[in-house]
Amino acid sequence: MTAQPEYPRVLIWGAGAIGGSIGAYLARAGTDVTFVDQAADHVEAIRGRGLSVTGPFGDFTVQAPAFTPGEVRGTWPLVLLCTKAQDTRAAAGALAPHLDPDGVVVSVQNGLNTLTLDEVLGPERVLGSFVNFGADYLEPGVVLYGGRGAVVVGEPSGGLSARSAQVHALLRAFEPEAVHTPNIMGYLWSKLGYGALLFATALTNDSIADALARPEDRDTYTELGREVMRVALAHGVTPEAFNGFDPSAFLPQASRAQAQASLDELVAFNRRSAKTHSGIWRDLAVRRRRTEVDSQLGWVVHFGALHGVPTPLTTRLVALIHDIEEGRRPLDRANLAELGQARTPAGEGA
């Protein structure tokens, strides 16, 4: 299903790495974009100097209105929610008064946040999306767009719709190869699998590519991916491949060689990006703030328990990330070795 974009006005709720990058490209293409962000210094910088995008795809600056959540007035037909996953419920409540009666909110986030948005806003007002491009917030008014990656949109309940087609058409101004899918949840569960690997790399100071390339940790990464995929299958999800992450390589019947090949592809994909480390690592090492670990991997542990699928490695990874967040342990390669000890004998031989 194809469509011309019919959302001339867009509210970007969360103007950091993801929202800032997408919103700047949409504004440059002629869409009427308004930014909302909790960081007052970021909002003031956008108001004063504009929002600047830098990186290997060219530098540019756009002028657009920007507000903190308490300042914004009016309603919009389309809101792109680009906050951290743990802020979803609060953000949904704050943006609800700014949504047209027949408006739609698109979760442009990591994790299964459409489930939370459904509770707050109702499923008839929610679309899902999946993004895997490389971006970082650098300083007030400046974001890095460091590497292209998958951009996918679809109905959380499945199928294709006119509204998801229109959002897809809009997002092509940012990523020309954006995908309109009837299986957005398959992409989001695959991102949970890849996300588990990224959380593991963030236990260290290694870059994503360097960490995933280390042969001594490959079995740990493989079992992490397998845990998530086992839970996804038990939950009735068909995972989708993207940017080197091949979910079939982490299914129960897959060989070790298949997982190795997918990890090699992920290394190659990340070496092409100017963004070397994950946003998770940046939260821990640079911004010294809590990560999205509970709002991402917490879903894996939750649904694993619901379906009777053990998740010992994922559960241990969540605990290790919390230790780093609370200052109980430093970023160190020893953390990965400790994580590997949580592999069960059954997991090692799978």
Helices (H) and strands (E) in the chain, counts: 14, 12
- Nearest Cα to Cα of residue 298 among 330, 327, 325, 321: 321
Alpha helices, H only, the chain: 17-28, 40-49, 88-95, 114-121, 162-171, 184-201, 208-213, 218-234, 256-271, 279-285, 293-307, 312-325, 333-340, 345-349
pLDDT above 50 (res 347): no
How many residues would you count in the chain? 350
Q: If you average pLDDT over residues 22-39, what whole number do you get?
A: 98
Q: Which residue has the tokens 């593991």?
A: 200
How far apart are the two ends of the chain, measured CA to CA in Å? 40
pLDDT of residue 5: 59
- Confidence category of residue 261, pLDDT binned at 50, 70, 90: very high
pLDDT above 80 (res 2): no
pLDDT of residue 6: 75
Q: Pairing between strand 51-54 and 60-62?
A: antiparallel
pLDDT above 80 (res 108): yes
| Nearest-5° Cα angle at 77, 72 to 80 | 70
What's the mean pLDDT when you consider all of the chain?
Answer: 95
**138-195: pLDDT as tens digits:** 999 999 999 999 999 999 999 999 999 999 999 999 999 999 999 999 999 999 999 9
Residue 287, burial from CB neighbour count under 10 angstroms (0-12, 13-18, 19+): exposed
Q: Which residue has the tokens 């780093």?
A: 324
Q: If you average pLDDT over residues 240-269, what whole number do you get?
A: 95
Alpha helices, H only, 182-328: 184-201, 208-213, 218-234, 256-271, 279-285, 293-307, 312-325
CA-CA-CA-CA dihedral for 183, 185, 188, 189, to nearest 10? -110
**224-242: pLDDT as tens digits:** 999 999 999 999 999 999 9
- Interaxial angle between packed helices 293-307 and 184-201, expressed in degrees from 0 to 180 and rounded to the nearest 10: 110
**7-27: pLDDT as tens digits:** 999 999 999 999 999 999 999
Residue 83, classed as helix, strand or coil, is coil
pLDDT of residue 346: 46
**CA–CA distance, 336 with 346 (Å, rounded to integer):** 19
pLDDT above 60 (res 287): yes
Residue 84, burial from CB neighbour count under 10 angstroms (0-12, 13-18, 19+): buried
Dmax over Cα atoms in the chain, in whole Å? 58
- Nearest Cα to Cα of residue 11 among 35, 38, 43, 40: 35
pLDDT of residue 350: 38
pLDDT of residue 3: 63
**46-101: pLDDT as tens digits:** 999 999 999 999 999 999 999 999 999 999 999 999 999 999 999 999 999 999 99
| Nearest-5° Cα angle at 120, 24 to 113 | 55
